[in-house]
Amino acid sequence: MDWNKLLELTIYGVALASIYAIAASGLVVTYTTSGIFNFAHGAIGMLMAFAYWQVRVEWGWPTWLSLLVILGFVAPLTGAAIERVLIRNLRAAPLAVTLVVTAALMVGLMGLATVLWAPNRSRLLPGFYTGKTVTIANTIVTYQQLITIGLAVLLAIGLRSLFLWTRTGIAMRAVVDSRDLVALNGGRPVMLSTLSWALGAMLAGLAGILLASGPTGIGLAIEALTLVVINAYAAALFGRLRSIAFTFVGALVIGLVQQYSVGYNLTDNAFFNTQVVPVVPYLMLFVALLLLPEGRLRGAQLVHAIKIRVPSLRTSIFWGGVLVLAGWVISELVTGTNLTAVSKGVAIGIIMLSLVPLTGYAGQISLCQMTFAGVGAFAMSRIASSGTTVGFGSLGIGNGNPLGLLAAFVLAAAVGALIALPAIRLQGLYLALATMAFAVIMSSAFFEGGAIFGAGSTDAGAVQRPHFGFVSLNSNAAYLVFLTFVFGLVAVGVLALRRGPFGRRLLALRDSPAAVATLGGSPTRTKLLVFSLSAGLAGLGGALYGGVDRNVTAGQFSLFGPPGSLSVFVLAVVGGVATVSGPLLGGQLLMMTPVFFTWLGTKLKTDLTPYAQVLFGLAGIGLGRNPGGAVAEISTRFRALVMDRTVHESESETHDPPIEGLLRRDVPLGAPITPSQLQELDALLDLEEVSGIGRAGSR
């Protein structure tokens, strides 16, 4: 046994673990005090590392001043600003909305980083005390590693003291149990929440700077740095997003496992070493999620969403026809790259349609729809081919055989079921995290590396368009018409599903999983079915998307893309995942906005393309609060404009909050309120239940 190597790897591992612990404890602090999981935590860390580079390297400020400015002012102010502007209003919002808003924030911040620091030059962040080392038992340890480990230890001690011995810390812990009680006892939960986000952003920033300046080889790369900070999410899950101590343990396990798997080549398999090892933290995130105990079934949430009318079969077929007609007109008017972009937008629209039953109806979040799309494209490239494709062999049944589309649906649905089987018992947030981990794992360990979409650095692979004998889809115009036809068909199908028993059950599941279970329905089975169906539809969309260019790359099916699962999810929500027209709009927004910005940029002689992503982020943040999305919002306003008074009157009649039920009864003034009425009022006003207060007080 090479003890020196073991010691060296252990020190490296502990140093890496220290960074994870710093980032993860920031996440835990924000989650516990505000109850909102910050998906953008990694992006904040990345942004702060860039900001640090700006002052330290570009402006040449001394290290101490740079650190003070970024970690003492910029990061905490950013965190506090995010809390004040976005998070505070989300406290009573359903989980799906909070996830959309923070995911959109992540997209927006990454866009902002691209705008401010265009990735057209390499940026290097110097380490701390570069070249200075000490030797411990024949092993060279850098000052930076020692500082990193020291900072984590100080942080552990600091956080523990904060939570145990300071008024603020104790109040922060109390906010977790009952926000209202803290307020009643003179605490200021709102202030505490702002404080925790400031602290969280500072810790994310510190982790980002340590990672970017350390020997990890990541440097200043927007996506890579964001992803590595997200590695820390796994550590936070070890502590179930609550315990700082277990978070540190989790970070240690992840850091060591990662370093050992890098240091000891477990196999000689180069693919394993280059593609699987980097995603070890995500594999562990996935495992940590699966080890979580099954939560209690959630009860109903009081949410007043816009009522979206479900069109009849006849109406939906009519609009499907109109869509195909519009597709034909556009295909005659638009040419070249614009035609390609519109077509891709429709194909992405089909992938977004897969989120309608899953997110729009059942309220489940998936951040890996492009992964399923990639599986679909893979199936199409192998099945509907003449048998000459590389890697994994080929089951070719002829170029463009339409059965390839069926294969794409079936394979993606099967993969969907496979991931869902272990993950589906998780609720809300954890399912979203599991799908995100799955997207990163599949991207690195499956799509990239050449076996799937061809060898070489581009990882590109040919995907045939379906071929129907008598109808030729060879021209791009014809393919667009075909895509709109498929979109219409899938949309009519999704609406039919909504009108039927399965659609009803999905909405019931979203409204109250607990009630579904007490009626004899298995929430797990229903979720499994809808997840699988959704994956299948995304696979179908992916196969068709590949046909637009007749070629795909691994990057398109990654988490960040473009187009990427994250943007697909955010823009689907922006368009509206409760309607089938929302995805149509979302797909076009995703594909046409960059085209528009490029065009505008050439007119203004400046590069505006990065602004598209910022816009996506802003749109997601703005519209994420309205689960109806843009289309529903526009149509509601339009209808209100047309019908004005009548609509307002009928709305005020049907949108009575349930509290009216209590108030409307003819109860004489002064009649005592019964305990049950009091409880009902509590429930309606969303106050803590009496038993909850009793428990908190009895501790």
* b/e map 511-531, b = 16+ CB within 10 Å: ebbeebeeeeeebeebbbbbb
Instruction: Figure out which of the listed residues 214, 239, 357, 523 binds other proteins, where binding follows CB under 8 A.
Output: 523
Q: Does 287 help bind other proteins (rule: CB under 8 A)?
A: no
Judge contact between 459 and 450, C-beta under 8 A.
yes
Q: Does 691 help bind other proteins (rule: CB under 8 A)?
A: yes
Query: Shortest distance, CB of residue 437 to other proteins, whole angstroms?
Result: 27
Half-sphere exposure for 582 (CA within 13 Å, toward CB): 34
Enclosing H/E stretch for 106:
helix 95-116
Neighbour tally for 269: CB within 10 Å: 11
Q: Does 687 help bind other proteins (rule: CB under 8 A)?
A: no
Q: Does 522 help bind other proteins (rule: CB under 8 A)?
A: yes
Query: Shortest distance, CB of residue 533 to other proteins, whole angstroms?
Result: 18
Instruction: Figure out which of the listed residues 515, 608, 618, 647 binds other proteins, where binding follows CB under 8 A.
Output: 515
Distance (Å, whole) CA 79 – CA 196: 8
Q: Does 315 help bind other proteins (rule: CB under 8 A)?
A: no
Nearest to 163 by CA among 49, 247, 96: 247
Tokens representing 260?
A: 């050992």
Q: Does 668 help bind other proteins (rule: CB under 8 A)?
A: no
| Nearest CB to other proteins, comparing residues 24 and 506 | 506
Half-sphere exposure for 185 (CA within 13 Å, toward CB): 15
- Per DSSP, the residues of 335-366 read -HHHHHHHHHHHHHHHHHHTHIIIIIIT----
| Nearest CB to other proteins, comparing residues 645 and 665 | 665
Instruction: Figure out which of the listed residues 116, 136, 514, 643 binds other proteins, where binding follows CB under 8 A.
Output: 514
The residue assigned the tokens 């506090």 is 80
Q: 3-class DSSP state for residue 334?
A: coil
Tokens representing 156?
A: 């552990």
Tokens representing 679?
A: 């409880």
Helices and strands (H and E) in the chain: how many: 31, 4
Q: Does 394 help bind other proteins (rule: CB under 8 A)?
A: no
Judge contact between 540 and 405, C-beta under 8 A.
yes
DSSP bridge partners of 142: 133
Q: Does 122 help bind other proteins (rule: CB under 8 A)?
A: no
Per-position x/- string for 340-379, each x denoting binding to other proteins as judged by CB under 8 A, each - no binding: ----------------------------------------
Distance (Å, whole) CA 229 – CA 49: 11
Distance (Å, whole) CA 574 – CA 552: 26
Distance (Å, whole) CA 541 – CA 377: 8
Distance (Å, whole) CA 483 – CA 487: 6
Distance (Å, whole) CA 102 – CA 99: 5
Q: Does 629 help bind other proteins (rule: CB under 8 A)?
A: no
Query: Shortest distance, CB of residue 516 to other proteins, whole angstroms?
Result: 8
Q: Is the peptide bond before 562 cis (omega within 30 degrees of 0)?
A: yes
Nearest to 203 by CA among 314, 436, 41, 402: 41
Q: Does 425 help bind other proteins (rule: CB under 8 A)?
A: no
| Nearest CB to other proteins, comparing residues 161 and 518 | 518
Within residues 639-658, the interface with other proteins by CB under 8 A covers 654-656, 658
Instruction: Figure out which of the listed residues 160, 504, 639, 648 binds other proteins, where binding follows CB under 8 A.
Output: 504
Instruction: Figure out which of the listed residues 520, 668, 670, 672 binds other proteins, where binding follows CB under 8 A.
Output: 520
Q: Does 421 help bind other proteins (rule: CB under 8 A)?
A: no
* AA identity, residue 225: L
| Nearest CB to other proteins, comparing residues 120 and 676 | 676
Q: Does 332 help bind other proteins (rule: CB under 8 A)?
A: no
With contacts defined by CB under 8 A, name the span among 5-13, 510-518, 549-557, 582-590 that binds other proteins: 510-518
Instruction: Figure out which of the listed residues 68, 188, 273, 511 binds other proteins, where binding follows CB under 8 A.
Output: 511
Instruction: Figure out which of the listed residues 124, 471, 519, 643 binds other proteins, where binding follows CB under 8 A.
Output: 519
Distance (Å, whole) CA 187 – CA 167: 10
Contacts (Cβ under 8 Å, ≥6 apart) of 145:
11, 12, 15
Judge contact between 624 and 630, C-beta under 8 A.
no
Q: Does 660 help bind other proteins (rule: CB under 8 A)?
A: yes
Instruction: Figure out which of the listed residues 77, 300, 421, 455 binds other proteins, where binding follows CB under 8 A.
Output: 300
Q: Does 293 help bind other proteins (rule: CB under 8 A)?
A: no
User: How many of the chain's residues bind other proteins (CB under 8 A)?
Assistant: 53
Q: Does 138 help bind other proteins (rule: CB under 8 A)?
A: no
Q: Does 670 help bind other proteins (rule: CB under 8 A)?
A: no
Query: Shortest distance, CB of residue 307 to other proteins, whole angstroms?
Result: 6
Query: Shortest distance, CB of residue 426 to other proteins, whole angstroms?
Result: 16
Query: Shortest distance, CB of residue 522 to other proteins, whole angstroms?
Result: 5
Q: Does 299 help bind other proteins (rule: CB under 8 A)?
A: yes
Q: Does 180 help bind other proteins (rule: CB under 8 A)?
A: no
With contacts defined by CB under 8 A, name the span among 134-142, 433-441, 484-492, 513-521 that binds other proteins: 513-521
Tokens representing 290?
A: 């699966």
Q: Which residues bind other proteins (CB under 8 A)?
A: 296-297, 299-300, 302-305, 307, 501, 504-505, 507-508, 510-512, 514-523, 654-656, 658-662, 664-666, 674-677, 679-680, 683-684, 689-691, 694-695, 698-699
